[in-house]
């Protein structure tokens, strides 16, 4: 008997929670209304405090070829719409890309239907937004959600957003999926796919693999699967042609669902949560490999004729799922599970409409086990990281002791300048070693967070936000000192633009996004233990260069912007000092800042 690791299977219970809510039914009602009333556009309705924005599934794909073309998100001059996703280009094997036709559909709606203006009006009347769509409308809804999340990216507060699609095709490549993961946006998407719907699979199948006699299917790529023409086109196919189409799509789904077995890797990649529904219930998965496998396995249990016509039956599924989620499922004595976890797997297979004892069930079971392992490790990883965090405390403490000794030293250089000067002492070497050990730990935290190996709310948990912020304030001045001590700025450029580690930028974002409670008088009575701007010394190093350039520059026209930059930094530094937001090493008698301020005053007097 397998050891009990969980009392239920999360993919089945999460589907039950969503299926029993009114979100799916209300979203589908809006989708059906949009399909009938606003072809090639969208409609909006506010229900209570929730705004529903539904994109019509009646769209025309602007292409003439027989295949899907992937283009980067900046194609057509729309780079600013999805700018956060383009930031990860250097970290991924290829840039984030989306289907050309679907991207053009969204850009057309955005530019010709005043999407920004209408969304602004909707947000004024609501507290949260659900963006939805059926078929190609679902693909447009997905891009609209990515645009809104990008639009809200730099804002401290905004409306909660959820995207629900029905029978939508996959829209982009694996790099797009990973970029969305790194932005922590996967939880914003729920893609509803019925077990028999061939269309989400068809639009990922190369048309070159179809027989010439099925050339009529090419028209599917130009006409919406929700339009009246779809029914006419489907009626023109013979049973043999439907069977051939079904077998081709099924075979392609099989090859891309096994990337580890020497098969062709899918050009299109899933992201977010996939809500697979059948006549018997529903399951929810968020692991990309498991999603690809279930797209194949659930289609495998379908019939050719049913799989083509099922694309329009999501209204029936939504109603059935709500009823099925409330019913109690049972087992026969022949397949009675040995544990609660096995029972959870059996319930999930029943909800997916896959018989528990056939070959497809064994493959589906393996897929669900994989999804479960990935789904349950984040909390365990977080707990283990908490233990690791306590183990690195001595390294941090040694650096704190070093700072205290530098600040109290007779030379009155301060923390930053003590570490910056050439020092072959054992104490300096230990501090430098501890700096690298802490960097290794926090880089590992960032990697785990970006790969979805930690809980979704990890970056807003006070324990980790405060720990990462304290680390940044304590250690980044040492990184800056090491950068300028080795004269890297002469080769690479100044630290802020060319030398700053990405972990510090991420920690800045975590700190800005933290929950801030209302406090009374926060005026400091003494200097802070750590300078509250971890990049203060990097800004000072740039100001020192500006001061030297003034001494050498004879052109008065070039001096004006330099003086302006110097005075801006001087005001900024003076403000930090007056608010006592700097450590006392900044105002030490022989610190770099004190000497720079004295030199600046002398230069002003001479000029």
Catalytically annotated residue among 99, 197, 417, 533: 197
For residue 449, how far is the Cα from the chain centroid?
A: 10
Tally Cβ neighbours within 10 Å of residue 546. 17
d(CA 318, CA 482): 60
d(CA 531, CA 538): 12
Task: Give first-to-last CA distance, the chain, whole Å.
Answer: 86
Catalytically annotated residue among 135, 227, 351, 534: 135
Sole residue written with tokens 């029936």: 316
Tally Cβ neighbours within 10 Å of residue 603. 13
d(CA 47, CA 34): 16
Sign of CA dihedral 163, 168, 174, 175: negative
Tally Cβ neighbours within 10 Å of residue 571. 10
Residue pair 132/164 in contact by the 8 Å Cβ criterion? yes
Residue pair 361/322 in contact by the 8 Å Cβ criterion? no
Residues in the chain: 607
311 is catalytic: yes
Q: E strands within 280-328?
A: 281-285
Helix ranges, 61-157 (H)? 83-86, 100-112, 115-124, 136-151
How is residue 516 annotated by DSSP?
P
Catalytically annotated residue among 134, 252, 311, 494: 311
Smallest CA-to-CA distance from 450 within 506, 374, 498, 499 is with: 506
Active site residues: 135, 197, 311
């Amino acid at each position: 008997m397998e050891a009990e690791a969980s009392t239920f299977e999360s993919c089945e219970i999460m589907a039950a929670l969503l299926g029993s809510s009114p979100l799916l039914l209300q979203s589908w009602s809006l989708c059906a209304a949009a399909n009938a009333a606003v072809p090639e556009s969208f409609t909006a309705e506010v229900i209570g405090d929730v705004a529903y924005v539904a994109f019509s599934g009646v769209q025309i794909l602007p292409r003439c070829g027989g295949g899907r073309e992937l283009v980067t998100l900046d194609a057509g001059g729309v780079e600013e719409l999805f700018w956060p996703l383009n930031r990860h280009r250097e970290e991924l094997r290829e840039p984030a890309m989306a289907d050309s036709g679907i991207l053009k559909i969204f850009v057309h709606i955005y530019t010709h239907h005043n999407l920004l203006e209408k969304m602004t009006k909707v947000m004024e009347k609501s507290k949260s937004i659900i963006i939805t769509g059926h078929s190609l409308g679902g693909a447009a809804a997905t891009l609209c959600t990515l645009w809104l999340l990008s639009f809200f990216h730099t804002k401290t507060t905004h409306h909660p957003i959820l995207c629900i699609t029905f029978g939508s095709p996959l829209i982009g490549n694996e790099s797009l999926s990973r970029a969305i993961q790194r932005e922590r946006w996967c939880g914003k998407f729920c893609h509803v796919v019925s077990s028999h719907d061939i269309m989400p699979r068809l639009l990922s199948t190369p048309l070159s693999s179809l027989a010439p006699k099925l050339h009529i299917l090419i028209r599917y790529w130009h006409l919406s699967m929700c339009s009246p023409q779809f029914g006419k086109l489907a009626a023109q196919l013979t049973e043999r042609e439907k069977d051939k189409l079904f077998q081709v799509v099924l075979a392609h789904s099989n090859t891309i669902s096994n990337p580890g077995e020497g098969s062709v890797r899918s050009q299109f990649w899933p992201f977010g949560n996939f809500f697979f529904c059948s006549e018997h219930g529903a399951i929810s998965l968020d692991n990309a490999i498991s999603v690809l496998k279930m797209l194949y396995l659930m289609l495998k249990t379908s019939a050719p004729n049913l799989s083509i016509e099922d694309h329009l039956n999501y209204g029936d599924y939504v109603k059935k799922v709500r009823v099925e989620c409330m019913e109690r499922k049972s087992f026969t004595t022949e397949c009675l599970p040995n544990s609660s976890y096995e029972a959870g797997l059996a319930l999930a297979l029943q909800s997916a409409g896959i018989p528990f004892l056939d070959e497809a069930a064994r493959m589906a079971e393996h897929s669900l086990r994989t999804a479960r392992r990935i789904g349950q490790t984040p909390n365990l990883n977080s707990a283990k990281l908490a233990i690791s965090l306590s183990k690195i405390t001595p390294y941090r403490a040694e650096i704190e002791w070093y700072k205290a000794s530098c600040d109290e030293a007779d030379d009155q250089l301060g923390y930053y300048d003590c570490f910056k000067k050439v020092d072959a002492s054992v104490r300096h070497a230990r501090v430098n070693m501890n700096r690298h050990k802490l960097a290794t730990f926090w880089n590992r935290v960032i990697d785990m967070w970006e790969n979805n190996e930690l809980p979704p709310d990890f970056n807003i948990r006070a324990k980790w936000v405060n720990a990462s912020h304290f680390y940044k304030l304590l250690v980044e001045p040492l990184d800056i000192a090491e950068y300028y001590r080795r004269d890297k700025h002469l080769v690479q450029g100044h630290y802020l633009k060319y030398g700053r580690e990405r972990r510090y930028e991420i920690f800045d974002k975590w700190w800005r996004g933290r929950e801030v409670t209302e406090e009374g008088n926060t005026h400091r009575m003494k200097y802070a233990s750590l300078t509250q701007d971890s990049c203060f010394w990097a800004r000072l190093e740039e100001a020192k260069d500006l001061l030297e350039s003034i001494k050498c520059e004879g052109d008065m026209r070039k001096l004006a912007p330099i003086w302006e930059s110097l005075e801006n930094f001087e005001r900024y530094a003076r403000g930090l000092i007056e608010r006592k937001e700097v450590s006392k090493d900044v105002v030490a008698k022989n610190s770099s800042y004190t000497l720079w301020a004295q030199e600046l005053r002398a230069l002003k007097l001479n000029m």
